[in-house]
Structure 1
């Protein structure tokens, strides 16, 4: 028995394992009805968002520093990163089930037998020493249950990695928008201060004219009201700035550092004015949320394979190979080799109903994931389409409001000169100042909206995240 040849047995096992198949249904991409191109994709040429890192898109060095800090410290992103790592480890556990678990054992015992229990009527002391390698309940994956579970775990990891990428991209856009709101508030403060100085200068002239009897007290009170309105606008802008900073502090999970670079004005926040969208199929491949939905669907598809395999027998092997002796010196010498081999076959007999229900549940979950995938694609297409049409209209509105602002500013200047020379009335001047200030405020507001739209479009187009290949490498 000590000369048993295990090579044929191992060969049979190797063939059985290598020839194991799975019962996972063939995966097919769901057909989703979306247009091939986007209607308002006017920027046909240029670098695609998926190939453009955020450092090459956003221009402000202060914003760069804030995004860097957020990517390291933001709690939501760190949670997504940890979840992805958890799923990767779970996949490694499931993958290792494909291989037998071999454990080394060593045992030494020394015992005394009582005289009354001994066949010789004498007490005795005995010793026993054993060492060996053992395989415990290794399942031969003949019907692909273990492989199906491993594939489901792999797709679950890819899903979590894509969810992490979506959180990464969302964080970049969110930090940018919060920063734009801070810059907008600061420029609103500067505008309110400029208007306040202009109105105070006009008010001093009006006081002189009122003393000379040229204008009435009503005109003077109206100018005082405009001065107080500018002060209120300034304080409101201060409130908005502080709230934007509070939002940034939450996003970076710490107070805003004092040593950040100087920020750029709103008009110089981007290095690229217009991103091309390209074909909808390309955009959808670049969207991490769409990829996450696709991996969730593949995971559900793999679970069907595991549910199908449950209808078939399970064959497990338990075995060991070692050596034993009553003397430690003879443990590895002589005819002291030991071995054991014990296959176990489990046949499903009275659990057909349970297995059938589990298979039906797996199929229903796949159908649910198909619906979720279709919803993710339609939502992504809507996001891009909405961002593109908003960009088109905002650009036109911004150009028109800029011209309006310049026209009102020039009118205010001319009416101010006429007012100094007594040609225009105080009412004309008040109307001109109100119109000019309102136009400048509108320009700032639409400038903020345009910047937010550009950040949203970068996110909607997939924003330069290329982690899929590296995730596949990590999963090997």
Structure 2
């Protein structure tokens, strides 16, 4: 028994030595592709203490979204959204797959037992024709199943590919959450904008109804014409039609928000904040384009996919070389089952196998070509992801640079239209102008007010898009380094934040 144990130990030591020496990897040396983007943003923000601010990717969504009602809606969404649940399970799936692949690098040892009984014809009996025709053999002990010594790094590269795929899936989950937070915020603001427009049109309808009553009284007093009465009635009907359309828009916006939340809107939500630019953080630091490579999850995920493809090349190249596998058994063996564990029944077996491919119809070479092609695809996808991210940030920065001016102009234009409406009413009541001027002024004033709300919504959505494009929305609370602790991001009142001013 001791000799068998020593022999098995020597065999195990040899296998362990082979494992230690199996440091060869045929995967190409990885080099991160150069980012195909400019070093600066086209509409870079002014250098006003940007370096002192927390990067946008580390700003928590509770700080960025300042409306307590919206914060609660996002919280419910992250708990119930089905797409996010699927993304989370994808991460667990990739984690488990990596565990399975990594386990292939280690031997599988377990308890095993086997028995064999067979009938042997007379001309094959070892003891001659008169010996017994039935032979038996039983074995039991520790068994080493077929274990491949990874001399050329095939298993290690396959494990590395699975690990990088797991990391890419983890980044995909972060990307899914960032997009979800942005979607629910946009749906919420769209609902708020629809509610603001509804309130505006209700007020407008009330004013038009009073105007219609006035014109009707003048018509009955033979002061106003039937044309003017019809013009006033058409304005009132137009307001009713607009109200119906906005009711539909509000209902659809609420339905979209319900789907994202994963449940109906609860009745105990906090009161909504006023629909203006103060709902969002006023200043989002853009940083440099190179920051996207380490802060934006989809770019990091694309790089992990590239690393996985790079490792798969090494696994494919290893197929050109020999494979060595081991099987073994340490335990007891006996012809009769009753003597399996008696003294003197100790045994061991060791079965190394080596296989060297000579001809495979070109499949091995094609496997390497396939892995290299997929690696080239991964490189292109990585570069494409960077370019798309750069464009998204650049577009949002362009909006930040222009929405403030547009809102100021739109606000001034709205005030002018309201003043024109006021003057038109006075001139009509005093008999200076016809009702046509009032009708035109009412239409223009309402269009200007609704346009101001929509522009304010677009500015808010643009701010959210910038936050998302810079990788923000993953953290619930702001992550601050020791140097940044105690200094919150600046709230620049002159920043081009969205503002939906009330009429």
Q: Same fold (TM over 0.5)?
A: yes
CA apart distance, 1:441: 0.9
Query: Contact conserved, 2:195 with 2:250, CA < 8 A, in 1?
Result: yes
Residue of structure 2 equivalent to 1:267: 276
CA apart distance, 1:159: 1.7
Moved more, 324-333 or 297-306: 324-333
CA apart distance, 1:182: 1.1
Change (3 A) 1:137 1:461: same
Change (3 A) 1:153 1:279: same
Residue of structure 2 equivalent to 1:3: 3
The CA distance in 2 between the partners of 1:371 and 1:315, in whole Å, is 36
The CA distance in 1 between the partners of 2:224 and 2:187, in whole Å, is 46
Give CA-to-partner distance per residue, 1:154-204, whole Å, 9 cap, x none.
111112222222221111111111111111111111000000111112222
Residue of structure 2 equivalent to 1:224: 233
Matched, 1:73 2:76: no
- Aligned residue runs from structure 1 range 424-439, under 5 A: 425-439=434-448
The CA distance in 1 between the partners of 2:168 and 2:334, in whole Å, is 54
- Aligned residue runs from structure 1 range 71-110, under 5 A: 71-106=78-113
CA apart distance, 1:122: 12
Matched, 1:22 2:14: no
SS class of match (2:331): strand
Give CA-to-partner distance per residue, 1:288-342, whole Å, 9 cap, x none.
2212221111111001100111111000000011134689997666333221101
Matched, 1:416 2:425: yes
The CA distance in 1 between the partners of 2:116 and 2:312, in whole Å, is 47
Matched, 1:380 2:389: yes
Matched, 1:246 2:255: yes
Residue of structure 2 equivalent to 1:471: none
Matched, 1:453 2:456: no
The CA distance in 1 between the partners of 2:135 and 2:2, in whole Å, is 24
Residue of structure 2 equivalent to 1:161: 170
Residue of structure 2 equivalent to 1:295: 304
Change (3 A) 1:238 1:408: same
Gapped regions of structure 2 (runs ≥ 5)? 477-503
Query: Contact conserved, 2:61 with 2:475, CA < 8 A, in 1?
Result: no
CA RMSD of aligned residues (A): 3.0
CA apart distance, 1:7: 3.7
Change (3 A) 1:466 1:358: farther
The CA distance in 1 between the partners of 2:79 and 2:213, in whole Å, is 54
SS class of match (2:140): strand
The CA distance in 1 between the partners of 2:407 and 2:371, in whole Å, is 53
Change (3 A) 1:181 1:350: same
Matched, 1:371 2:374: no
The CA distance in 2 between the partners of 1:279 and 1:370, in whole Å, is 22
Residue of structure 2 equivalent to 1:134: 143
The CA distance in 2 between the partners of 1:50 and 1:227, in whole Å, is 49
The CA distance in 2 between the partners of 1:177 and 1:269, in whole Å, is 15
Query: Contact conserved, 1:206 with 1:220, CA < 8 A, in 2?
Result: yes
Residue of structure 2 equivalent to 1:472: none
Matched, 1:55 2:62: yes
- Aligned residue runs from structure 1 range 163-182, under 5 A: 163-182=172-191
SS class of match (2:43): coil
SS class of match (1:259): coil
CA apart distance, 1:120: 13
Query: Contact conserved, 2:138 with 2:335, CA < 8 A, in 1?
Result: yes
Query: Contact conserved, 1:136 with 1:319, CA < 8 A, in 2?
Result: yes
The CA distance in 2 between the partners of 1:208 and 1:314, in whole Å, is 101
The CA distance in 2 between the partners of 1:327 and 1:343, in whole Å, is 28
CA apart distance, 1:408: 2.2
What is the total number of aligned residue pairs between the two structures?
Answer: 464
Query: Contact conserved, 2:19 with 2:151, CA < 8 A, in 1?
Result: yes
The CA distance in 1 between the partners of 2:326 and 2:396, in whole Å, is 59
- Aligned residue runs from structure 1 range 282-361, under 5 A: 282-324=291-333, 334-351=343-360, 353-361=362-370
The CA distance in 1 between the partners of 2:151 and 2:308, in whole Å, is 21
Residue of structure 1 equivalent to 2:40: 37
The CA distance in 1 between the partners of 2:240 and 2:14, in whole Å, is 88
Residue of structure 1 equivalent to 2:488: none
Matched, 1:13 2:15: yes
Change (3 A) 1:370 1:124: closer
The CA distance in 2 between the partners of 1:414 and 1:245, in whole Å, is 38
The CA distance in 2 between the partners of 1:63 and 1:372, in whole Å, is 35
Query: Contact conserved, 2:59 with 2:475, CA < 8 A, in 1?
Result: no
Change (3 A) 1:105 1:466: farther
SS class of match (1:266): coil
Q: Structure 2 length normalisation: TM-score? A: 0.84
CA apart distance, 1:413: 3.1
SS class of match (2:409): helix
Change (3 A) 1:281 1:22: same
